[in-house]
Amino acid sequence: MGIHWFILSAVAVILAQRWLFRGFAMKRVSYTRTFSVNRCFEGDRIEMIERLVNRKALPLPWLRVESLLHTGLKFESGANFDVSNGQFYQNHKSLFSLMGYKQLTRRHAVQCVQRGCYRLTGASLTTGDLFGLFKKWTQVPLQEELLVYPLPAEHPELRLPSRSWQGDITVRRWIVEDPFYVTGVRDYQAGDPLKSVNWSATARAGKLQVHRRDYTADYRLLVLLNVEDHEDMWEVVNNTPLIEQGIRYAAGLLQYATEQGLETGFVTNGHDLDVPGVPVATPMGSGNEHLTYLLECMAKLVIARTVPFDELLLQLAEEREERCDLVILSAFMSDKIALAVERLRRAGHSAEWLPIEERREGGAA
């Protein structure tokens, strides 16, 4: 009889713990996942932080957390988690075991190997009893976003054209006179305001003399990126690494121009992650805050053509009255694009083509 009572007792315990864990295992359990930063550059190393809290006396014998993450986030080796890599996404699994009224924080080292906007929208939690007789699954919503900025290309790599926006030089173009830039005096002409009269020079010359003011550049740089990788492209971009290099060129140009005090803007026939089908066209601005805004736009840029690049240039020539220095980043220069560039020049803009080249080993183009 003793062995029978033992078997019955064991079965009763197993069934009791099965009922207990089935009804209460996921009660008062919370899981969160965050990044150590929410903004970084390509190549930076950050941390993904998981935090599990059990606010009840019943322990969690085991809990598995699974989620899909983009392969642009490369996890370094570590214990208690596993990563199954695919071409674009990877399945991340973490395994926890937690006593009652305890919390556990786990940090994973991550290298951001690709520009992009990475959003954590949810994770699946699976738990069960001590003997594996049942499993219970639930979905936990997450709201976490990581923006990885493109790594700006170095100045020597850009091979910048020698244009007015590369320095504080005087030019005689479409720009109006600078009231603070006096280079001498000249004879008074009809229409000159009296406040421009130089009375000392007038007394010496015996006739009205006015300040001579020179022309200075009103520095505005607009970077235009073509996401088409070859001339005969229809819809799909095949050589995305080449276009990624173009985005790095754009980031380097905009960073350099901002450091020189220029107003900058960014236009591309790709689209924003949240606004599909519409080309990206930012307003002009200056300063570090505006540069950060441009980098955020490039982080969210989807490499997919919305309109042919030559059509975008023609539309720009018709709509943009404010004259700018244009740098065109494109892997090729077709006849249609060349005609559109000439149209922009006739509208008063200066335009230079900076070819996008493949990135060789060691990071050089």
Q: In this structure, which amino acid lies at residue 63? A: L
Domain tally, the chain: 3
Residue 305 domain flag: yes
Residue 50 domain flag: yes
For residue 236, what pLDDT is reported? Answer: 83
3-class DSSP state of 15: helix
Over the chain (365 residues), the average pLDDT of each successive run of 10 is 70 71 85 96 96 94 93 84 83 92 94 96 90 84 96 78 47 40 66 74 82 58 96 87 97 93 94 96 95 98 96 93 90 96 91 85 49
Q: In this structure, which amino acid lies at residue 326? A: L
E strand or H helix at 137, and its extent?
strand 135-149
Residue 13 domain flag: no
Same domain? For 186 and 277 the reply is: no
Q: Give the domain range for residue 187.
A: 177-215
Q: Which residues of 115-142 are buried (b: 16+ CB within 10 A; e: fewer)?
A: bbbbebeebebebbbeeeeeeeeeeeee
Residue 19 domain flag: no
Same domain? For 145 and 264 the reply is: no
For residue 163, what pLDDT is reported? Answer: 52
Same domain? For 161 and 43 the reply is: no
Same domain? For 276 and 314 the reply is: yes
Same domain? For 320 and 268 the reply is: yes
Single pTM value for the model: 0.79
Q: What is the dihedral of CA 166, 167, 172, 175, to 10 degrees?
A: 80
Residue 310, Cβ density class (10 Å: 0-12 exposed, 13-18 middle, ≥19 buried): buried
Same domain? For 183 and 287 the reply is: no
Same domain? For 185 and 263 the reply is: no
Q: In this structure, which amino acid lies at residue 111? A: Q
CA distance 46 to 39: 10
Q: Give the C-alpha distances (Å, rounded to integers) separating 317 from 217, 313, 347, 348.
A: 20, 6, 7, 9
For residue 13, what pLDDT is reported? Answer: 67
Residue 17 domain flag: no
Same domain? For 210 and 298 the reply is: no
Same domain? For 54 and 96 the reply is: yes
Same domain? For 137 and 284 the reply is: no
Residue 2 domain flag: no
Same domain? For 256 and 159 the reply is: yes
Same domain? For 144 and 223 the reply is: no
Residue 363 domain flag: no
For residue 192, what pLDDT is reported? Answer: 67
Residue 360 domain flag: no
CA distance 162 to 259: 17
CATH code, 337: 3.40.50
CATH code, 55: 2.60.40.10
